[in-house]
Structure 1
Amino acid sequence: MNTESQNFRKSAELLGAICGGLLISLPAIPHALAQQSTPNLNPSPSIFSESPYNRSQTPVTPGPSAMPPRPVPRGEGQMSPVPPGPSVRPPRPIPGDRTQQPSPGGVSSDQPQLLQPRQTPSATIALTNGTVNIKLENDTAANVTFQVIGDTAPRSLRGKSNVILQGLKAPVTVTFEREDRGQLLVTPQASSEPGSLEVRFNEATNAAQGRSAMRIERNGSVFLN
């Protein structure tokens, strides 16, 4: 055999040895990669055999860099008001604005007073068992229509005549009107008899003197309207 044939044979044997080694090592490469990519499921198997945490142990003190918890505001949605900064100025009044500021008592100074002084009684009588007798004296020439509210229907009292209404339970209201649409001057006066009231009708000289109703309270006070 010549020298060239021997060299070719040696090269072929070397190439076959290299290819055979590669074929043997290829199956081991995926296995090694799988071992490197798969994490240890339990790197510390002893933790399952350790005793549970004892709550009586001293808690770990947070380091100086730990931030304390923020306080929770009292009440849901209730936060402390933020005071205005030094640059915030109160609103200036607008010239010509007639809006009145409320007074310290909660009532505006320009509102009328709601509670008026109580009217002074025109007369006072002593009731008998809570009842009163009323004598109506018509000193005018015109007929007067009167009615005890809740007790009687409207009735007519002729001029220069009188009528007595007995046993009316207080409080009681009596209305009256001249049939000729004139004004009535009404004068109530306590009678000498206990529990009795005399009421005189006269012609009024002006509308300001005219009256059309009388009310007797439980305490015997008589008011005209």
Structure 2
Amino acid sequence: MGQPRPDSEPSPEARRLARKSRRQDNRRQQILRAAREVLLASGPESFTMEQVARAADASKAALYYYFQAKEEVVAALAIEALRREVEAVSGAVIAAERGIDGLAALIRARVEHYLADPDAFRILYTWAPTLGAAQRLVLAEILPLTAVVSQTLEAKLQRDRKAGLLHPDANPARLSQVAWLTSHGLLSYAMNQPDPERGAWRPLCDEACAALVRGARP
């Protein structure tokens, strides 16, 4: 009889399944990269599964193994964009020393993140909502992911309150929502400028951040 396999060593079947899972994940990502290029080139109205299959060099049967409809493809692209957004914004909020500083950090990080990749903003906030049922998939991800950032910011604002740094009438949850909405308005404005990097959004962003911080202080 052979030596017993250590508990920590995966079985041949487990290794086979892990390899299969990695291949499927890689193939799914290849399809999504091709789909993003097609979507940006054609827009959501002309976007079809046939175009994605050709761009990904895949059969329609292979494509439908991963996604049942074009709405699911766009939803997956939107969720990827959302996860990258949350990663960028949460990093800025966590790095902020105080909750009040986190309000401005959230606004700046979100605006700068999407101005570096405006196509991701369009996919998530403009195109995905136009595709009906796909929006349910996106909303299922938006609420818990953005809640992580909001809860971190709100906890810092509560600490500010205990330290006497927050206005007694200020509501941490509402301040967090105002920061999200302010960043969204600035993004909508900046993206309609001919050259966002040289446009008027920067002084507006500075003023918005300063006004929000002033209003939150005692």
Greater share of strand residues, 1 or 2?
1
Larger of the two Rg values belongs to structure: 1
Greater share of helix residues, 1 or 2?
2
Do these two structures clear the TM 0.5 threshold for a shared fold by scoring above it?
no
TM-score band (shorter)?
A: under 0.3
State the TM-score, normalizing by the size of structure 2: 0.18
User: Relative contact order (alpha carbons < 8 A, sep ≥ 6): 1 or 2 greater?
Assistant: 2
